[in-house]
Amino acid sequence: MGMTMTQKILASHAGMDHVSAGQLIRAKVDLVLGNDITAPVAIIEFEKAGLEKVFDRDKIALVMDHFTPNKDIKAAEQCKTVRTFAKKHQITNFFDVGKVGVEHALLPEMGLVKPGDLIIGADSHTCTYGALGAFSTGVGSTDMAAGMATGLCWLKVPTAMRFILKGKLKEWVSGKDVILQIIGMIGVDGALYQSMEFTGEGLASLTMEDRLCMANMAIEAGAKNGAFEYDEKTEQFAKEHNCAPWTVYQADEDAEYTKTFEIDLSAIEPTVSLPHLPENAKPVSEVGEITIDQAVIGSCTNGRIEDLRVAAKIFEGRQVHDGVRCIVIPATQKIMLQAMEEGLVKTFIDAGCAVSTPTCGPCLGGHMGILAKGERAVATTNRNFVGRMGHTGSEVYLASPAVAAASAIAGKLVTPESVLGGKV
C-alpha cells in the first residue's frame, strides 16, 4: 500500500523504506523548538538527567516569545534560565527580545524550516510548518529535552484525512475562514491522532500566509500535523527564504485516507468561531448583534505581513469604534519594519489601534491585552477556550484579520463588506 506525504517524511527520517499507520518509530529530527514557557521545563529535565551535551547546537531553536518582553519577575527568571542554557551550549538559534518574533512566524521567515523536514516543538502550534511540505508537530517539554539530547523523537505513524480544495476564495475571505469552517465541520477532535493533508487545484489560489494559518490550526481539530502538497509557491517561498537544500515528498497515488473531503473555496464566507471552542464556527453574517470590547490582530496564526495589509486596507480612513481597544501585534521584527515601511503602522495608529512589539501576549492570556469579567474580544488567534484571554467570564471570538478589523471599526462582529460598503 502507498504512503501519505506525512508517512513518507516519517519513513525517511526513521531510515525505513516504508512505514504503516499505527507503527511506533524513532525518527531523526531536523529541528527541536522550545519557547520561554516550555523550554525551562525541558532544561530542568535535561539537567536532572545529568546530560552534558546537546546533539547539535545548530538544530535547536529557543524562542523567547510568550511572556516577553518579560511580563513579571517570574517570567524574567524563566527567560534567564533559557538564556543561560543557550549560552552554555552555544545554541545558534536563540532569539531574545529585539530579535525575537512569534516562533511560528519567525522560523519560516528565517529559513530555519524547509520542505521535507521533520520538526518537533514544545508548542502545540508547531504544526504550522506543514504549510511548507514539512512534517512538524507539537510535543511536550520532556520530548524537547530528549530531542535536544538525542536528536530523535518517538512517534506513532498517523493515518490521514485528505482535504481536496477546489475553486478560489472570494475577496476578504482567507485561509482563516477556511480552517475555521473545516474545524466546524469535523470538530475539535475530528482529526485526533491523524494528519490533515491538503491538496487539489484550489491550493494554487492560497497564499503562503493562508497555508501557514491553516496548518497552524490543524491542532485545533486534534490533528498531529497539517500538510500541504508542495507546489510552485512552496518552492518560491523556500528560495526566497534561503532555505538549505530540501527534499520534496508527495503522497503516493494509492495512499490510504480515513476520509476525503472536497472543499469548495468559493463557497466560504467570512467566519467566526464562537466561545468556547474553535469548532463553534458560523458565518459572521449569521451571528447577530455581538458587541465587542477588544480586537486583537496578530499571533502565530495571523500576525504576518499579508494579514496586516488586509487589516490596514480596512482601517484606512476609518476609526476604531468608541469603547473598543484594538491591539495590533506584528509577529516578527521584520514584519514590523515592513509594516512601517509600507505605512501600515501609521494607518493602524491613525485609526486608534495600539501597535505592539512581537509577543504571544494576549493570545494565551499572558499580557498585553487581558480581558476583564464579562468582556468580549474578537481575535485573529487560535483558541477561544474558557479564560483563554483573561477572566473565566470573558469571551473570545476567533476570526480573520479582515473580520477583526471590520469588527473593531463597527464595535460589533460584522463582515468586512458591511464596513467597506458603509453600512455601519
Partner 1 sequence: MKATGNAIKYGDNIDTDVIIPARYLNTTDPKELAPHCMEDIDKDFSKRVQAGDVMVGGKNFGCGSSREHAPIAIKESGISCVIAATFARIFYRNAINIGLPIVECPEASEKIQAGDKISVDFDTGVITNLTRNESYQGEPFPAFIQGIISAGGLMNAIKAGKL
Binding site residues, partner 1, CB under 8 A: 24, 26, 37-38, 40-41, 44-46, 48-50, 66-67, 71-72, 74-75, 78, 121-124, 126, 138-143, 145-146, 149-150, 152, 154, 188-189, 192-193, 219, 222, 224, 277, 364-366, 383, 385-388, 392
Closest CA to 154 of 252, 254, 276, 23: 23
CB 396 → partner 1: shortest distance, Å?
11
CB-wise, 151 or 352, nearer to partner 1? 151
- E strand or H helix that includes residue 152: strand 152-156
Q: Is the peptide bond before 241 cis (omega within 30 degrees of 0)?
A: no
Closest CA to 327 of 364, 357, 356: 356
Rounded to a whole number, what is the largest CA-CA distance in the chain? 64
Closest CA to 259 of 148, 142, 161: 161
CB-wise, 50 or 317, nearer to partner 1? 50
Closest CA to 174 of 31, 76, 51, 270: 270
CB-wise, 179 or 314, nearer to partner 1? 179
CB 130 → partner 1: shortest distance, Å?
15
CA-to-CA separations, 359 to 71, 216, 330, 356, in angstroms, rounded: 11, 17, 8, 8
Scan for cell 518582553, then name that residue: 69
CB 305 → partner 1: shortest distance, Å?
26
CB 103 → partner 1: shortest distance, Å?
12
CB-wise, 179 or 206, nearer to partner 1? 179
CB-wise, 257 or 385, nearer to partner 1? 385
Q: What span, in angstroms and rounded, lies between the C-alpha atoms of 279 and 266?
A: 21
Q: What span, in angstroms and rounded, lies between the C-alpha atoms of 370 and 355?
A: 15
CB 49 → partner 1: shortest distance, Å?
4
CB-wise, 24 or 349, nearer to partner 1? 24
CB-wise, 134 or 396, nearer to partner 1? 396
Strand-pairing partners, residue 263, are 165
CB 84 → partner 1: shortest distance, Å?
14
CB 219 → partner 1: shortest distance, Å?
8
Cβ atoms of 168 and 267 closer than 8 Å? no
CB-wise, 121 or 416, nearer to partner 1? 121
CB atoms within 10 A of CB 87: 10
Q: Which residues contact 243 (CB under 8 A, 6 or more apart)?
A: 111, 113, 114, 115
Backbone angle region of 299, left / alpha / beta, with phi > 0 → left and psi within -120 to 50 → alpha: left
CB-wise, 148 or 311, nearer to partner 1? 148
CB 155 → partner 1: shortest distance, Å?
9
| Pair type for strands 60-63 and 31-35 | parallel
- Amino acid identity of residue 323, one-letter, is G
CB 392 → partner 1: shortest distance, Å?
5
